[in-house]
């Protein structure tokens, strides 16, 4: 694998681990707030992010490349209301999509077809994640200050399968 592509994929592994940390921190916050459905949803999302990191890690190993693991930044420790947290999650996913697209273009410039093919899975996954989190943001906006609607959504989201 081209050195610059290796560096960029390695960086993306770090991004995915950070996303896992980010969602885990939010999950713990929801747990403390007794919003257990949101907590469970965020925990499942964190597990997905760790699986994304491992998918890229395995891909690099299969290519005989070197995943250059760096330190993972700490997630936020201050938390606003549920709407602002899901808005932050959506913002985060949009940024991840942008990074994946950038990486896809870099792999294309280096004629690295295998990496492009691997990244196509991530491009599709990002469309799904943005749409899923965007729907939660819409519903939280509709719920507004209505506590009953918030609790109903919390219950509904708790039905998500883990990982």
Interface characters, 40-59, with ligand FEO (x: CB under 6 A): ---------x--x-------
Distance CA 129, CA 163 (A): 14
Q: Which residue is nearest to ligand FEO (CB)?
A: 52
Binding of residue 9 to ligand FEO (CB under 6 A) = no
CA atoms within 13 A on the CB side of 96: 29
How buried is 159 (Cβ within 10 angstroms: 0-12 exposed, 13-18 middle, 19+ buried)?
exposed
DSSP for 126-162 reads HHHHHHHHHHHHHHHHHHTT-HHHHHHHHHHHTTSPP
> Tokens 């999650």 — which residue?
89
* Binding track over 53-92 against ligand FEO, x by CB under 6 A: ----------------------------------------
Nearer to ligand FEO, 35 or 89 (CB): 89
Q: Residues 35, 140: contact at Cβ < 8 Å?
A: no
Residue 65 or 99: the one with the smaller Cβ distance to ligand FEO is: 99
Pattern 92-111, ligand FEO, x by CB under 6 A:
-x--x---------------
Q: Total number of residues binding ligand FEO (CB under 6 A)?
A: 7
- Between 104 and 150, name the residue whose CB sits nearer to ligand FEO: 104
Of the pair 7, 55, the CB lying nearest ligand FEO is at 55
Of residues 129, 136, 137, 153, which one binds ligand FEO by CB under 6 A? 129
DSSP 34: T
Q: State yes or no: residue 112 binds ligand FEO (CB under 6 A).
A: no
Structure tokens at 64: 């005989």
Q: 17 Cβ partners below 8 Å, 6+ apart?
A: 49, 50, 53, 72
C-beta of 40 vs 52, nearer to ligand FEO: 52
Site residues (vs ligand FEO, CB under 6 A): 16, 19, 49, 52, 93, 96, 129
């Amino acid at each position: 694998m081209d050195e610059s592509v290796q560096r960029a994929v390695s960086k993306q592994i770090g991004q995915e681990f950070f996303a896992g940390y980010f969602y885990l921190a939010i999950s713990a916050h929801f747990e403390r707030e007794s919003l257990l459905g949101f907590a469970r949803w965020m925990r499942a999302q964190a597990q997905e992010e760790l699986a994304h990191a491992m998918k890229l890690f395995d891909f690099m190993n299969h290519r005989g490349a070197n995943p250059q693991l760096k330190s993972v930044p700490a997630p936020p420790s201050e938390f606003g209301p549920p709407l602002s947290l899901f808005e932050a999650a959506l913002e985060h996913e949009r940024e991840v999509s942008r990074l994946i697209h950038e990486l896809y273009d870099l792999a294309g410039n280096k004629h690295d077809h295998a990496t492009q093919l691997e990244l196509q899975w991530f491009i599709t996954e990002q469309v799904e994640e943005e749409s899923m989190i965007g729907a939660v943001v819409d519903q939280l906006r509709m719920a507004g200050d209505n506590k009953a609607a918030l609790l109903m959504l919390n219950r509904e989201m708790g039905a998500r399968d883990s990982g």
